[in-house]
Structure 1
Amino acid sequence: MNRKTLVLPAVVGLLTPVLAACGGSDSGSSSNDAIVVGTTDQFTATKDAPAPVDPAYSYDVGGWNILRQTVQTLMSQPKGEGDPVPDAAESCSFTDSGSERYACKLREGLKFSSGDAVTAQDVKYSIERALRVKADTGVYALLSNIDTIETQGDREVIFHLKSADATFPYKLSTPVAGIVNPKDYEKDKLRDGFDIDGSGPYTFKADVQNDALVSATFTKNPSYKGAVKVNNEQVVLRSYADADAMGKAIDKGDIDVMTRTMSPAQINKLDTGDDSNVDLVEMAGLEIRYLGFNTNAPTVKSKAVREAMAQIIDRAALVSKVYGSQAEPLYSLVPASITGHSNSFFNKYGDPSVPKAKTLLTAAGITTPVKLTMHYTTDHYGSATKQEFEVLQKQLNSSGLFDVSIQGTPWDKYQTAERKGAYDVYGMGWFPDFPDADNFLAPFLDKDNFLKSPYVNNKIINTLIPESRREADRASATSSLTTIQDTVADDVPVLPLWQGKEYVAARNDVTGVAYALNSSASLQLWELGRGSSS
């Protein structure tokens, strides 16, 4: 079979897979032969981040890729286009006209993998636990609009919200709303290490060396009752140091599937079709990259410095030099394919211009060149991140207005240092919790934002975000969403750079690859199966 690229178009920001032969089919077949999946995500339990897979703590795509397989939620995101669907729940709906009362009824006979029954009280316990623990990752903020949780019998749960929130069903599909057994998870304390117990599609066993997860074995959970069909008996997820090591593993047949993050060079090579044994699946992605600012830091406290950076950085040149056709420039935190997107940064700054940047700095009385350090993580977003920051550094320094140095740090130290305010300027990526404009804005700008940013805009927090959430028809929220994006372009607490496509590569006897990622770029290992090579 000739390798082919399967382009999966986005419709209103959601992935609508196009089925094709071999790796693109969604028809999986169960097999006792474990499917081995490679990733460059690193999972480490450290003193600062001791509970990387506790639902009340985890807030990165790697951790969520583990939790979505193992810890069940009331709702789940579908494999293609559409709203969340019941998973642990039999049904869920708003029961009032103001989107402030949300009721769910659990499926009958739900069990944790231990055999214990899953009850409404367990749901209440799990979500209240996340809110009580209030982990420094900020993941609890997804649920912070909950006022009280009521249970009626063992199968009914009612959420009373502080204010209207049409996106609440999506929030119940995220791992922070995962249902855990009170026997295994203390109510006021995180569960350190890599133990997981839940009622999801798989049970979980971790191979840990030196406090780092080397591989994870997911075994089909016979007790699972939910929305998905599991097309395999077992999947092994292996962590590799970098994309090159992962690529060598699939070439040798040590793994069957490659996920995030492949290097641009690997993707280009697979795209040529030289390897007849491996298929590349390309998906329209919602991943974004951006620069964050500690707006209290002396180097970037002046808005004029941040505006000047926004005026100088050439996104098109950055994407062309580093990522080619695998990404596109982004002029808002909200990706172009999401309802409510506005090109706010382009509307304000237009094409890159050094003279305009100089005018901004001169008017603010800023002495040039502005000396600062931009930080990036060396091992979380792929091997091209260093090159990306080298390009950014050159663009800023070539203007004569900046004297920028760059510094890379491993993710296990980087994420905690950023949250503690150690970096003035830092690079981050965002994979959405759910495919709605709210999730590209509120986590950065609302109270308890996950960046721990000191930037506060009361109009955004108290008026615009609540206003947008009242609209069940998300297109009707566009006015509020646009105003938020325009305000971000004016104040520049963050600087969006680009949005990228998603890729999965698989040996051609693996089926279900077209659905291996959902619209939030989260793994759906249950879609993978074995089939005949075509």
Structure 2
Amino acid sequence: MNRKTLVLSAVIGLLAPVLAGCGDSDGGSDGGDAIVVGTTDQYAATKDAPAPLDPAAAYDIGTWNILRQTVQTLMQIPRGGGAPVPEAASKCGFTDRENQSYRCTLREGLQFANGDPITAEDVKYSIQRTQDIKAASGVYALMGNVDALETNGDSEIIFHLKSSDATFPYKLSTPVAGIVSSKLYPKNKVRDGFEIDGSGPYTFKADVKDDTIVQATFTRNPNYKGDRNIQNDKVELRSFKDSDSMGKALDSADIDVMTRAMSPQQVQKMLRSPKDGIQLTELPGLEIRFLGFDTDAPAAKEKAVRQAVAYTIDRGDLISKVYDGMAEPLYSIIPSNVATHTNSFFNKYGDRDLAKAESTLSDASINTPVKLTLHYTSDHYGAGTQKEFETLRDQLNSSGLFDVSIKGEEWKNFRPNQIDGDYEVYGMGWFPDFPDPENYIVPFLDADNTLNSPYTNNTLRGQLIPQSRREADRSAATKTFGKIQDIVADDVPVLPLWQGKTYVASHDDIAGVEWAVNSSAELSLWELRRGSSAPAA
């Protein structure tokens, strides 16, 4: 087994993965014409989420990974990270000092995959429908600062923002800003089912069973005009129920690449007992896991209860029992390898201080044990999730201060229930929408947040978040983000637990894996190829 490791180099406000070592070797798998990629992500259409692949509604890493291959955005994060650069646009930029007017010019000859021309009106239509639909996922909030859209001819669009936002170019690189056709995507409702029509590197076809995708086929789009250097003609993405079945498919050469989510046991086995013909690629992770609290729920509305939980959790014990070598403790909502991170939770709570947990509850006249139910998704974040919550339950109950039970649900039910406020405490994971510290703050704490959290802090929303957005030089926002993290640690609307690494296993004849999956677990399937040669452009 060859092992590849990517080292994350953090620059203030930017995250740039740097290749430390890689190498191709002969051998490998028989995947036919298509490169076959495995995932445990599930793509289901349900009553609550009938349009899992509509850019106006989709808001999880799995569906965004499908959309990134198929729906083009004005901007993109370049290979290896860094500041956004034009993709469907030929140029973009702010036209004022306040960062409130952003102008883009489209590439010449831009087309949808079906050959229809793309104009500025299509871009305007796509953004406006996202705002009008206001899907329950909360993804529309990424475009929430857009006050008005103006077109100038067929090729120019101007975004007028409600307030300064230096991160707006990043937001235009996310799938919610994907360009869709008014002929195929209704204006005021989501497009039900599993069809996608865009102008990205690939066209898309889904094989569906019982309203769930079992395999997705990405075929090179001959009408694509952009800067993606497409290294293959076809990729198949196969969805597995669990990591064990995905691992067996890799071993038997039914798939060429094994992506999220490998289990901790699989990673450790590959590290300790390498297999010939298999390579393991490791990336420093930008994934975080945290507990969310419904601050309106009877058991979680008291800040003292949330603080006592923070005093009681032992992150080191959790990681050693569940995620050996795949995670590290996280003491802020912003990961440690992102500029502006501070250890706010460690500074306030340390590691498992039961005396302070008890006195916090006592001072607030809260009777113990406090009864809580921790909810988690059983099929979305990997095989270790159930054991993680069993460990959290045991830590809390062993303190004598809590009476905790746990309950797992499939993602297709868990996420709608969480949004509806059915859970007092729940486990969530987060992969950043774009590489800026704001994206670990605004989605959880601002108005229209993705958690649908009732928690409100006027200082955060009215002063600190707007202040951070005004700084085009992101290093100038360091002090502001420090204040935000301290407030979060004191109020505990969310409780950070750990940040993880990203691992990908593949056959040795597959090249480009180190670029095809980044530290945010985002897929760039166009980077994959067999051997060292690529198809002609």
TM-score bracket, normalised by the shorter chain, equals: over 0.9
Determine the structure 2 residue equivalent to 1:244. Answer: 244
**Partner Cα distance (1:6, 1:33) in 2:** 28
Determine the structure 1 residue equivalent to 2:300. Answer: 300
Q: Select the residue among 7, 19, 28 that pairs with 1:17.
A: 19
Structure 1: any 5+ residue segments left out of the alignment? 25-30
Q: Tell me if 1:129 matches 2:109.
A: no
**Partner Cα distance (1:305, 1:514) in 2:** 43
Q: Tell me if 1:476 matches 2:476.
A: yes
- Contact in 2 for aligned 1:70/1:198 (Cα 8 Å): yes
Determine the structure 1 residue equivalent to 2:57. Answer: 57
**Partner Cα distance (1:240, 1:482) in 2:** 41
Match for 2:462: what amino acid? N
Determine the structure 1 residue equivalent to 2:369. Answer: 369
By how many angstroms is 1:272 displaced? 2.5
Partner SS state of residue 245, structure 2: helix
**Partner Cα distance (1:16, 1:348) in 2:** 34
**Partner Cα distance (1:51, 1:303) in 2:** 37
- Contact in 2 for aligned 1:74/1:173 (Cα 8 Å): yes
By how many angstroms is 1:32 displaced? 7.7
Match for 1:9: what amino acid? L
Partner SS state of residue 412, structure 2: helix
- Equivalent residue pairs, number: 526
- Contact in 2 for aligned 1:3/1:273 (Cα 8 Å): no
Match for 1:404: what amino acid? V
- Contact in 2 for aligned 1:146/1:160 (Cα 8 Å): yes
By how many angstroms is 1:232 displaced? 0.2
Determine the structure 1 residue equivalent to 2:7. Answer: 8
Determine the structure 2 residue equivalent to 1:28. Answer: none
Structure 2: any 5+ residue segments left out of the alignment? none
The residue correspondences of 1:304-315 to structure 2 (distance < 5 A) are 304-315=304-315
Return the TM-score normalized by structure 1.
0.97
**Partner Cα distance (1:112, 1:7) in 2:** 35
Determine the structure 1 residue equivalent to 2:149. Answer: 149
**Partner Cα distance (2:501, 2:198) in 1:** 31
The residue correspondences of 1:48-447 to structure 2 (distance < 5 A) are 48-447=48-447
- Which of 72-81 and 302-311 deviates more? 72-81
Partner SS state of residue 19, structure 2: coil
- Contact in 1 for aligned 2:72/2:87 (Cα 8 Å): yes
Determine the structure 2 residue equivalent to 1:506. Answer: 506
By how many angstroms is 1:324 displaced? 1.4
**Partner Cα distance (2:264, 2:490) in 1:** 33
Runs (4+) off by over 6 Å: none
**Partner Cα distance (2:433, 2:274) in 1:** 35
**Partner Cα distance (1:514, 1:5) in 2:** 8
- Contact in 1 for aligned 2:4/2:21 (Cα 8 Å): no
By how many angstroms is 1:271 displaced? 1.4
By how many angstroms is 1:301 displaced? 1.1
Judged with a 3 Å threshold, the aligned counterparts in structure 2 of structure 1 residues 32 and 473 are, in CA distance, closer, same or farther, namely: farther
Identity of aligned residues (%): 60
By how many angstroms is 1:380 displaced? 0.1
**Partner Cα distance (2:94, 2:285) in 1:** 30
- Contact in 1 for aligned 2:332/2:343 (Cα 8 Å): yes
Match for 2:20: what amino acid? V
Partner SS state of residue 16, structure 1: strand
**Partner Cα distance (2:271, 2:120) in 1:** 48
**Partner Cα distance (2:469, 2:371) in 1:** 40
By how many angstroms is 1:352 displaced? 1.4
Match for 2:17: what amino acid? L
**Partner Cα distance (1:77, 1:532) in 2:** 24
By how many angstroms is 1:519 displaced? 4.5
Task: Give CA deviations for 1:367-388 in whole Å, capped at 9, x if unaligned.
Answer: 1001111000000000100000
By how many angstroms is 1:17 displaced? 2.3
**Partner Cα distance (2:274, 2:283) in 1:** 20
**Partner Cα distance (2:62, 2:265) in 1:** 22
By how many angstroms is 1:15 displaced? 1.7
By how many angstroms is 1:321 displaced? 1.2
Task: Give CA deviations for 1:364-407 in whole Å, capped at 9, x if unaligned.
Answer: 01110011110000000001000000110111000000010011
**Partner Cα distance (1:179, 1:210) in 2:** 29
Determine the structure 2 residue equivalent to 1:27. Answer: none
Match for 1:16: what amino acid? V
Alignment RMSD: 1.4
- Contact in 2 for aligned 1:311/1:356 (Cα 8 Å): yes
By how many angstroms is 1:273 displaced? 4.9
- Contact in 2 for aligned 1:280/1:505 (Cα 8 Å): yes
Match for 2:379: what amino acid? D
